[in-house]
């Protein structure tokens, strides 16, 4: 049984895509680590990168090539100053050189050393192969970016050695029914079960600090997005909308930091239309930052990164002005656990499951987190997640131009609103009367994913991606 931590589901990284940017970036880092372990890094004179399937078809729009170069350079997506990304990429392109692993300089020609192969590898839609050459030998390995920044190699998945990865959690969970059984037998809330599992790997202080670092990153991302105007990169000429929407909502009230900004928002008008606009504004802000290679939290992916921050922000500035760090942690732990159930039972990769695997899962995570902090029972938390996903089933992934912009950015607003609605419905529901358990929805999502035509799975070969072309934009 695989142990998936909250911090596996909520990762800090750089946009625009967890599977097409963060995953390949991490794969490049892993390859460099292997070269060091084999003590051949110093002898490398060339690196070749082959991108396959979805990574190839939409790689340019998702900055996959840039992510690979940054990873091979030894940069860390979690900590690299985002303003230095263009500097590193420009230096590689202008000098035709790569500072491999931040240790040796080798020739690197972007046009010939990164190869876009349209064919799909059999194991997963997002395949990437690295080949390192020395004077008299070569070393290669193939990785698969399976969504949410997770990277695997096929050999490890299929090997007996994988059986050694036993779950050390006191409450190992694969299915929602198991989580619910623990809550009932231990008389605990969902977040309390998750917390006990996390404590088997980290101290309480470490858990607190890391959860708050995740929230601070989310808050800063919303703040930056609401205060940035202009056109998003990529060629679609998409104008940022969070800036104008925020300006109309906030008025002239003064503030000077993300936290004082939260206090000011609490003083604004909160009629129904304003609530819709605020939640949408928060979600737009995050995904506009994501689309411009900014720092976001994958939740569970970059393309769906705006849903959870928007719903949690709604709770903090509109629903409960007395909420504090404890509620933030409870929300994130609950959301993370629901995300892990979808990852184990289905997928969080749009290349495998369409957008239902990204926005659908993020909406279910957010609905569960909101229901938890609003006093829902464990049974109602499961209902909230089920309702949110049920109404995203079959959602395709067909980004125009292969960019995480249209319709991706707006979809985060829809996922956030659905999550709030799902939580409210769940809170008014007697769980004994529900007809569809969460595990059934997880299974159905996976079956739907397998039935979905490949052109609607992040390949930009169908739907809006071909119905609307760049000339229209």
- Give the Cβ contact number of residue 282 at 10 Å: 32
- pTM comes to 0.93
54: tokens are 């979805």
Give the model confidence (pLDDT) of 110-162 as tens digits: 999 999 999 999 999 999 999 999 999 999 999 999 999 999 997 654 444 43
pLDDT confidence of residue 168:
84
* DSSP-derived pairing of the beta strands 46-53 and 114-117: parallel
Give the model confidence (pLDDT) of 281-313 as tens digits: 999 999 999 999 999 999 999 999 999 999 999
Bridge partners (DSSP) listed for residue 301: none
Torsion of CA 451, 455, 459, 465, to 10 degrees: -130
Is 293 within 8 Å of 14 (Cβ atoms)? yes
pLDDT category of residue 472 using cuts at 50, 70 and 90: low
Mean pLDDT across the stretch 412-440? 97
Ranges assigned E (strand) in 7-90:
11-14, 46-53
Query: Which residue is listed with tokens 């202080």?
Result: 205
Q: Using N-to-C axis directions, what is the helix angle for 325-345 and 378-390, rounded to 10°? A: 60
Q: Is it the case that residue 165 has pLDDT exceeding 80?
A: no
State how far the alpha carbon of 114 is from the alpha carbons of 67, 127, 136, 325, in Å. Answer: 11, 13, 22, 45
Contacts of residue 332, Cβ cutoff 8 Å, sequence gap at least 6: 6, 10, 211, 214, 215, 308, 312, 369
Q: Is it the case that residue 420 has pLDDT exceeding 90?
A: yes
pLDDT category of residue 2 using cuts at 50, 70 and 90: confident
Give the model confidence (pLDDT) of 170-210 as tens digits: 999 999 999 999 999 999 999 999 999 999 999 999 999 99
204: tokens are 């309480």
User: Which residue stretches of 104-203 are H helix?
Assistant: 110-113, 154-158, 176-186, 190-199
- Report the C-alpha gap between 374 and 330 in whole angstroms: 11
Q: Is it the case that residue 3 has pLDDT exceeding 80?
A: yes
- Report the C-alpha gap between 241 and 131 in whole angstroms: 42
pLDDT confidence of residue 154:
77
- Report the C-alpha gap between 197 and 7 in whole angstroms: 12
Q: Using N-to-C axis directions, what is the helix angle for 307-314 and 359-373, rounded to 10°? A: 20
Give the model confidence (pLDDT) of 21-54 as tens digits: 999 999 999 999 999 999 999 999 999 999 999 9
Mean pLDDT across the stretch 87-93? 96
- For CA atoms 119, 122, 127, 130, the dihedral sign is negative
- Give the Cβ contact number of residue 95 at 10 Å: 12
CA-derived radius of gyration, the chain: 22
pLDDT confidence of residue 159:
45
């Amino acid at each position: 049984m695989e142990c998936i931590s909250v911090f596996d589901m909520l990762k800090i990284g750089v946009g625009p895509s967890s599977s097409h940017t963060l995953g390949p970036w991490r794969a490049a880092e892993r390859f460099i680590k292997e070269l060091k372990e084999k003590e051949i890094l110093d002898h490398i004179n060339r690196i070749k990168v082959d991108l396959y399937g979805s990574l190839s078809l939409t790689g340019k729009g998702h900055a996959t090539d840039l992510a690979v170069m940054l990873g091979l350079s030894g940069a860390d997506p979690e900590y690299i100053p985002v303003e230095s990304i263009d500097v590193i990429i420009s230096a590689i392109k202008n000098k035709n050189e790569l500072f491999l692993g931040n240790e040796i300089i080798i020739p690197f020609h972007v046009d010939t050393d990164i190869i876009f192969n349209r064919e799909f590898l059999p194991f997963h839609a997002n395949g990437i192969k690295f080949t390192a050459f020395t004077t008299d030998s070569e070393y290669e390995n193939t990785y698969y970016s399976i969504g949410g920044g997770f990277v695997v190699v096929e050999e490890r998945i299929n090997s007996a050695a994988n059986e050694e990865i036993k779950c050390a959690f006191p409450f190992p969970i694969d299915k929602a029914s198991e989580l619910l059984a623990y809550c009932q037998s231990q008389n605990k809330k969902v977040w309390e079960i998750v917390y006990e599992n996390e404590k088997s790997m980290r101290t309480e202080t470490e858990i607190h600090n890391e959860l708050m670092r995740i929230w601070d990153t989310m808050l800063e991302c919303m703040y930056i997005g609401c205060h940035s105007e202009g056109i998003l990169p990529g060629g679609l000429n998409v104008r940022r909308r969070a800036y104008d929407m925020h300006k109309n909502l906030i008025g002239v009230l003064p503030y000077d930091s993300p936290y004082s900004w939260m206090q000011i928002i609490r003083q604004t008008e909160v009629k129904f239309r304003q609530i819709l606009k605020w939640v949408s504004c928060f979600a737009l802000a995050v995904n506009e930052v994501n689309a411009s290679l900014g720092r976001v939290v994958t939740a569970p992916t970059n393309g769906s990164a705006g849903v959870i921050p928007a719903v949690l922000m709604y709770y903090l500035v509109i629903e409960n002005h007395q909420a504090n760090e404890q509620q933030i942690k409870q929300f994130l732990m609950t959301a993370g656990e629901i995300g892990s159930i979808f990852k184990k039972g289905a997928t969080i990769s749009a290349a495998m499951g369409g957008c239902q695997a990204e926005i659908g899962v993020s909406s279910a995570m957010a609905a569960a987190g909101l229901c938890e902090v609003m006093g829902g029972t464990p049974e109602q938390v499961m209902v909230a997640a089920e309702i949110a996903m049920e109404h995203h089933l079959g959602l395709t992934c067909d980004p125009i131009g292969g960019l995480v912009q249209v319709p991706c950015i707006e979809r985060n607003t829809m996922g956030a609103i659905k999550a709030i609605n799902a939580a409210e419905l769940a809170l008014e529901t007697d769980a004994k009367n529900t007809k569809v358990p969460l595990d059934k929805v997880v299974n159905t999502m996976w079956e739907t994913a397998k039935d979905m035509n490949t052109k609607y799975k992040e390949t930009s070969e169908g739907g809006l991606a071909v119905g609307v072309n760049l000339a229209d934009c």
